[in-house]
């Protein structure tokens, strides 16, 4: 298979399979989690938990004093990823094509800035994972795997755009394939937090609130 066939596969069946798997997987997981509901309360319910739920969503967005550098770096790359994925003009064309919704993209130099920022902060986060003893112990192989799966589209996309590497067609194929890997991994790894983070935080916060724990 040469680079042209690889690109044609990535843009054709590859993208279709990955989209179907991702949409199916995410819908299934979200509905399954929601349908589980709450466990039966055996103790007296102290509060509705709504306030605590929303508080937790916001509170966990704020960097903690003892690790503000690490947390800030993770926020930067999350924001960077969001901007790059949803506002690079060729990407907006993809969303328009698949989901039929369209919004204006941003100029390439802004996307470039956020790509470099995301790559740099992701590397910082990885180094911190290895350097900090607590994080190193807590890290499992799957954590490094999801880091890699997120990192690859950024690097291949940057290389393709700037014509770095062997050949644009091959780099574009590698970029699309790396994105398809990310799409497939989204529902089956902890990357699912992309769609569940808010409801998971709300659940934890409101659960604590219902038990009378101050959050």
Partner 1 sequence: MTEERVDKAETLGGSLISNGVSRRTFLKFCSTVASAMALPPAAAKAMAEKLSQATRQSVIWLSFQECTGCTESITRSHKPTLESLIFDFISLDYHHTLQAASGDAAEHAREEAQKKHKGKYILIVDGAIPVKDGGVYSTIAGITNLQMLQDVAKDAMAIVSVGTCAAYGGLPKANPNPTGAVAVSDIVKDKPIINIPGCPPIPVVMTGVLAHVLTFGIPELDSHGRPMAFFGDSIHDRCYRRPFYDKGQFAKGFDDEGARKGWCLFEVGCKGPTTHNACATVKWNNGTSFPIQSGHGCIGCSEPDFWDAGSFYKPLSTGSMNMEGWATGALAAGAAVGVASGLLNSNTKSKAEAKHEPVTLEDMGAKNE
Q: Smallest gap, in angstroms, from Cβ of residue 116 to partner 1?
A: 16
Q: Which of 73, 149, 172, 177 binds partner 1 (CB under 8 A)?
A: 172
Question: CB count, 10 Å around CB of 81?
Answer: 20
Between 90 and 212, CB nearer to partner 1: 90
3-state secondary structure of 188: helix
Q: Does 7 bind partner 1 (CB under 8 A)?
A: yes
Q: Does 113 bind partner 1 (CB under 8 A)?
A: no
Question: CB count, 10 Å around CB of 17?
Answer: 13
The 8-class DSSP code of residue 40 comes to P
Q: Smallest gap, in angstroms, from Cβ of residue 122 to partner 1?
A: 23
Phi, psi of 88 (to 5 degrees): -75, 130
Q: Determine the Cα–Cα distance for residues 184 and 19; give it in Å rounded to an integer.
A: 8
Q: Which of 57, 94, 194, 198 binds partner 1 (CB under 8 A)?
A: 94
Q: Determine the Cα–Cα distance for residues 118 and 83; give it in Å rounded to an integer.
A: 10
- Tell which phi-psi region holds residue 139, choosing left (phi > 0), alpha (psi between -120 and 50) or beta: beta
Q: Smallest gap, in angstroms, from Cβ of residue 14 to partner 1?
A: 9
Q: Does 12 bind partner 1 (CB under 8 A)?
A: yes
The 8-class DSSP code of residue 39 comes to P
Q: Which of 48, 61, 72, 108 binds partner 1 (CB under 8 A)?
A: 108
Binding site for partner 1 (CB under 8 A): 2, 4-5, 7-8, 11-13, 15-16, 19-32, 34-37, 40, 89-91, 93-94, 96-99, 105-108, 163, 168-169, 172
């Amino acid at each position: 298979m040469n680079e042209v066939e690889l690109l044609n596969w990535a843009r054709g069946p590859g993208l279709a399979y990955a989209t179907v798997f991702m949409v199916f997987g995410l819908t299934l997981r979200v509905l399954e989690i929601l349908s589980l509901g709450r466990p039966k309360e055996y103790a007296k319910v102290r509060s509705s938990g709504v306030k605590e739920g929303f508080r937790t969503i916001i509170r966990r967005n704020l960097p903690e004093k003892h690790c503000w550098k690490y947390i800030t770096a993770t926020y930067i790359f999350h924001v960077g990823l969001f901007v790059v994925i949803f506002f690079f003009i060729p990407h907006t064309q993809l969303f328009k094509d698949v989901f039929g919704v369209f919004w204006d993209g941003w100029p390439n130099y802004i996307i470039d800035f956020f790509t470099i920022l995301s790559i740099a902060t992701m590397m910082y986060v990885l180094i911190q994972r290895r350097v900090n003893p607590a994080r190193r112990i807590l890290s499992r192989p799957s954590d490094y795997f999801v880091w890699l799966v997120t990192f690859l589209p950024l690097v291949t996309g940057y290389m393709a755009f700037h014509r770095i590497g062997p050949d644009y067609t091959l780099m574009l194929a590698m970029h699309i394939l790396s994105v398809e890997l990310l799409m497939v991994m989204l529902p089956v790894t902890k990357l699912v937090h992309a769609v569940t983070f808010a409801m998971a935080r709300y659940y934890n916060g409101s659960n604590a609130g219902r038990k009378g724990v101050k959050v």
